[in-house]
């Protein structure tokens, strides 16, 4: 027997294991729950997303009911996505004063004063072509004209009462544009959490069904990052920090733990990871088939993300973990 290192000596009891555990347990203060709110005349609208069992498109009314239960269970933070009644090439629903996200924020703000409300800032749920920015007649994404619309969107979310805005469009210079716009509108203390390191990922498939935001032609590879690139992620992070981002998101999470770790070790800035729709759907599908112990895999996946260096985690499992008391508050 090797008498030097005896790994098992420190694994004998649950008490000892918890004493030496390096990564703190996942708590409600780590997690952010995404919601999809739909602009609809049907107050009872609540439609399960086929590829994301347990996740719903919700009317304002149903969103209020669902968030009320989750808040009772300890939910602290959410990120909102909107699905407008109509779409157009300019994505005007994104920055409409009475747009669906703006309405949802105002409603949630009055009912849940302490809930931390983050809004996703992008055009793709609102554009008829499904791209994250304006398109030229040739079908190219127009960077600078898009910045103005993103700034209007973020400012309108702030006016509605959002606590933080999270731009996910991947246009260049957007953090600087948003910061300037928010400051000019007197929201100098409103933080920006940038989806700085966002990959062109096939793991977003179920989200695009949920948000009805799939691009009608082409793909997002001309603005989202190549999954093969790690060092480029650091340049994206550096640019957004220089432009004034307050915290950063790496997205997706599970297949990109190396990126989370590198950003964590390189920059002293609060870091968030987005466990995206496809990561959720894979676990749900295998769980439903009895191929994995779903609850254990969920916690292990989140522990891995936290161990890699993300403090905040956006996860579709948040509500369920709280409801089943699988994490502490």
Nearer to ligand PBG, 51 or 155 (CB): 51
Residue nearest to ligand PBG (CB): 207
Nearer to ligand PBG, 212 or 246 (CB): 212
Nearer to Zn ion, 31 or 122 (CB): 122
d(CA 79, CA 163): 10
Nearer to ligand PBG, 120 or 294 (CB): 120
Q: Binds 276, which of Zn ion, ligand PBG, none (CB < 5 to 8 A, cut-off by type)?
A: ligand PBG
Q: Which helix (H) or strand (E) holds 117?
A: strand 116-121
By CB under 5 A, how many residues form the interface with Zn ion?
Answer: 3
Return the residues of window 96-135 that contact Zn ion according to CB under 5 A: 122, 124, 132
DSSP string covering 132-201: SSEE-TTS-EEHHHHHHHHHHHHHHHHHHT-SEEEE-S--TTHHHHHHHHHHHTT-TT--BEEEEEEB--
Q: Binds 277, which of ligand PBG, Zn ion, none (CB < 5 to 8 A, cut-off by type)?
A: ligand PBG
Q: Which helix (H) or strand (E) holds 100?
A: helix 100-111
Q: How far is the CB of 168 from ligand PBG (least distance, A)?
A: 4
d(CA 109, CA 162): 8
Catalytic residues: 198, 251
Among residues 79, 299, 26, the alpha carbon closest in space to that of 210 is found at 79
Stated length of the chain: 329
Given the rule CB under 6 A, which residues bind ligand PBG?
120, 122, 124, 132, 168, 204, 207-208, 220, 276-277
Q: How far is the CB of 3 from Zn ion (least distance, A)?
A: 58
Q: How far is the CB of 121 from ligand PBG (least distance, A)?
A: 9
How close are the terminal C-alpha atoms of the chain, in Å?
44
Contact residues: Zn ion, CB under 5 A: 122, 124, 132
């Amino acid at each position: 027997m090797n008498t030097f290192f005896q790994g098992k000596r420190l694994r004998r009891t649950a008490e000892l294991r918890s004493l030496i555990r390096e990564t703190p347990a996942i708590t409600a203060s780590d997690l952010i729950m995404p919601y999809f709110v739909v602009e609809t005349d049907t107050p009872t609208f609540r439609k399960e997303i086929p590829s994301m069992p347990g996740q719903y498109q919700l009317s304002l009314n149903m969103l209020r009911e669902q968030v009320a239960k989750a808040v009772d269970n300890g939910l602290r933070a959410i990120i909102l996505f909107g699905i407008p009644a109509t779409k157009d090439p300019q994505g005007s629903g994104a920055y409409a004063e009475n747009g669906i996200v703006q309405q949802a924020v105002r409603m949630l703000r009055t009912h849940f004063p302490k809930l931390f409300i983050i809004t996703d800032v992008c055009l793709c749920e609102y554009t008829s072509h499904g791209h994250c920015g304006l398109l030229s007649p040739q079908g190219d994404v127009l960077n600078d004209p898009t910045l103005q619309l993103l700034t209007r969107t973020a400012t309108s979310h702030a006016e509605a009462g959002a606590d933080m805005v999270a731009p996910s469009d991947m246009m260049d210079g957007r953090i600087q544009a948003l910061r300037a716009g928010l400051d000019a509108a007197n929201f100098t203390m409103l933080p920006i959490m940038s989806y700085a390191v966002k990959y062109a990922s096939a793991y977003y498939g179920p989200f695009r069904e949920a948000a009805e935001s799939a691009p009608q032609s082409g793909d997002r590879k001309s603005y989202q990052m190549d999954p093969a690139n790690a060092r480029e992620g650091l340049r994206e992070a550096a640019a957004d920090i220089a432009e004034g981002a307050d915290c950063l998101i790496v997205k997706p999470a599970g297949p990109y733990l190396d990126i989370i770790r590198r950003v964590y070790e390189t920059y002293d800035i609060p870091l968030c990871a987005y466990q995206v729709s496809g990561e959720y759907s894979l676990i749900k599908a295998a769980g439903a088939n009895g191929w994995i112990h779903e609850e254990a895999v969920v916690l292990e996946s989140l522990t891995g993300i936290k161990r890699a260096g993300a403090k905040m985690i956006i996860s579709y499992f948040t509500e369920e973990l709280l409801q089943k008391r699988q994490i502490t508050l």
